[in-house]
Amino acid sequence: MLQVARWRIILVIIVAVVGAIFAAPNVLPANVLERMPGFVRGSTMNLGLDLRGGSQLLLEVDLATLRQQRLEQIADDMSRQLRESDPRIRAVRRGIQGGVARVRLNDASEMERALESLQAIVSPIQVNQFGNSEPDVEFRDAGDGVIEAQVTDVALTQLARQSVRQSIEVIRRRVDPTGVAEVTIVPQGDDRIVVQAPGESDPEVLRERIGQTALLTFHLPAQNIDPLDAQEGRLPSDAVLFPYADQEARPGGVVVRRRPELTGEYLNNARAGFDAQTNESVVNFRFNGRGSRIFCNISTDNVGRQFAIVLDGQVLTDPVFNEPICGGSGQISGSFTPQSAQELALLLNAGALPVPLTVIEERTVGAELGQDAINSGALAGIIGAIATLVFMALAYGLFGLIACLALIINGVLIVAAMSLVGAALTLPGIAGLILTIAMAVDANVLIYERMREEQAQGRGPALAIDAGFSRAMVTIIDANLTTILAALILFQFGIGPVRGFAWTLSIGVITSVFTAVLVTQILLALWYRAARPKKLPIY
């Protein structure tokens, strides 16, 4: 083994040089970096949120609302299907209660036919690759002519996934309207979204922009409602009481028809501005073609009557139609500040979230704390590395120095690999790096100790080096594979910072085996050829 193949030497040199090139941008000052070619410049280590500062929000789709929305649709579909499929069946929609949608048949004896007819609105959902499928809704005879419909779990999961996909688009338009910020928005599991905004100075803004559904609706007032009934909550099922948004200025609310005449979907764009007469902050909007036609019809039919502009169930304003409005543009006034008008315009432009999202986890790290963490982590790393190098040099002399060289190349390779892969370096990741450096020495120690043993048993230096390598190899592979296994589990389970740790650990194990075995072997072979020693210096 002391005759090292030339290709091995070349391989090691190439890997080391390439590693150095990709690791360099992390330490070079900015002005030197500017003169480097582009492919080198791009590869710096990706710092995790805990190091660079920033916010991370974990959002969850509100499954209860999602189920409720779906049940509303199902209830409508059921009564329509029953009405249209068979003129003999008469059914009444009974609304939603306790997670089921109910329809009541006038004649309970029609039950069987009704259930059969309802199968037409069931759409199967494929649940696995073998083509098995489950229905998205289940119907049940609840006795007394009542049919109950339930959303299946499979359907709910599918809906959640859809909402997550749609929400990600909306969130991106909201938090990053210009598309320049480095915000990552990714799904997690079936019903969660992770939003990471590095360096965002005010997580509050982030949370407010995401926390609102921003569903804008236009309602006409409900008719023939006794104000006293409304106050006590006795309302027909097609009417609803919405409170005013600014309860301090205007307590109470407006009773309107539940079904909106128009929604934010019909908006083309919205912009914050000032009312020319009152000099108040307002939001100006334009409907799209269809929206402006509908609005024109409504305003023509209801001149002299009030209507309500409602955002997420709160009345922003309830002006009176003074004349038909057919120009397709409108204005929302209310108690806006210039900032809040701007925020609302932004939300309206981005569109409504399909379902409310709840913030279930938030982690914010100030940029200064992040910088402090980098500084102390880097210092600890440097001290740990130097201590290890000095220890090895003291313990093994020349062989220790060879191990040190392998260790330095190892460090360079880890940094280069992290930069290339784009794995985030986190605070636990720095700890992982330090630990990896210490563990990388282990392979060298195993080899050297084996050599000492072989020499103690009377072998010459060449044979001892040879046997040291070949016998230690088995152990090195076994020992490092176990560490990789642990790192893989960490990666599977880990979130955020812990995942960064798993990355550093696994990259470090791979590079350390490479350097400890190949680099050390080549250096030892070169030394042996030059020195032709009678004995190894570690005996």
Quick one: which of 19, 400, 461, 508 contacts other proteins (CB under 8 A)? Answer: 400
Applying CB under 8 A, which part among 28-36, 228-236, 342-350, 454-462 lies near other proteins? 454-462
Q: Confirm if 60 and 357 have CB atoms less than 8 A apart.
A: yes
- Contact flags string 197-236 toward other proteins, x per CB under 8 A: ------xx--x---x-------------------------
Quick one: which of 505, 516, 517, 518 contacts other proteins (CB under 8 A)? Answer: 505
Residue 457 CB, shortest distance to other proteins, in Å, is 6
> Where do the DSSP E strands lie in 337-434?
357-365, 424-425
Residue with tokens 């690791």: 23
Quick one: which of 333, 471, 510, 528 contacts other proteins (CB under 8 A)? Answer: 471
C-alpha span between 226 and 232 (Å, rounded)? 10
Q: Output the CA torsion 258→264→270→273 (10° steps).
A: 10
Of residues 10 through 29, those in contact with other proteins by CB under 8 A are none
Applying CB under 8 A, which part among 118-126, 229-237, 309-317, 429-437 lies near other proteins? 429-437
The verdict on 492 binding other proteins (CB under 8 A) reads yes
Applying CB under 8 A, which part among 90-98, 126-134, 224-232, 449-457 lies near other proteins? 449-457
Q: Running DSSP on this structure, what letter comes out for residue 387?
A: H
* Count of residues engaged in binding other proteins, rule: CB under 8 A: 94
The verdict on 539 binding other proteins (CB under 8 A) reads yes
Angle at 19 between CA 431 and CA 8, to 5 degrees: 115
Quick one: which of 257, 271, 286, 459 contacts other proteins (CB under 8 A)? Answer: 459
Residue 519 CB, shortest distance to other proteins, in Å, is 18
- Contact flags string 146-185 toward other proteins, x per CB under 8 A: ----------------------------------------
> Where do the DSSP E strands lie in 154-301?
184-188, 192-198, 216-219, 239-243, 253-257, 262-263, 267-274, 281-287
Of residues 340 through 369, those in contact with other proteins by CB under 8 A are 358-366, 368-369
C-alpha span between 12 and 328 (Å, rounded)? 70
Of residues 373 through 392, those in contact with other proteins by CB under 8 A are 373, 375-377, 379-381, 383-385, 387-388, 391-392
Residue 264 CB, shortest distance to other proteins, in Å, is 23
C-alpha span between 509 and 502 (Å, rounded)? 11
Quick one: which of 205, 335, 475, 527 contacts other proteins (CB under 8 A)? Answer: 475
C-alpha span between 226 and 159 (Å, rounded)? 39
Residue 416 CB, shortest distance to other proteins, in Å, is 21
Q: Confirm if 332 and 46 have CB atoms less than 8 A apart.
A: no
The verdict on 395 binding other proteins (CB under 8 A) reads yes
C-alpha span between 501 and 216 (Å, rounded)? 44
Contacts for 460 with CB less than 8 Å, ≥ 6 apart: none
**CB-based burial, 52-84: b 16+ in 10 Å, e otherwise:** bbbbbbbbbbbbebbbebbbeebbebbbebbee
Quick one: which of 12, 15, 24, 58 contacts other proteins (CB under 8 A)? Answer: 58
Quick one: which of 448, 507, 514, 518 contacts other proteins (CB under 8 A)? Answer: 448
Return the H-helix or E-strand segment holding 59: strand 54-61
DSSP string for residues in 271-303: EEEE-TTT--EEEEEEE-HHHHHHHHHHHHHTT
Question: Which pair of structure tokens corresponds to residue 318?
Answer: 């309830």
C-alpha span between 225 and 338 (Å, rounded)? 36
Of residues 236 through 255, those in contact with other proteins by CB under 8 A are none
Quick one: which of 83, 481, 531, 533 contacts other proteins (CB under 8 A)? Answer: 481
Quick one: which of 331, 342, 466, 527 contacts other proteins (CB under 8 A)? Answer: 466
Applying CB under 8 A, which part among 99-107, 308-316, 470-478, 521-529 lies near other proteins? 470-478
273 or 494: CB nearest other proteins: 494
The verdict on 514 binding other proteins (CB under 8 A) reads no
8 or 363: CB nearest other proteins: 363
The verdict on 442 binding other proteins (CB under 8 A) reads yes
Quick one: which of 68, 293, 494, 527 contacts other proteins (CB under 8 A)? Answer: 494
Residue 101 CB neighbours (<10 A): 27
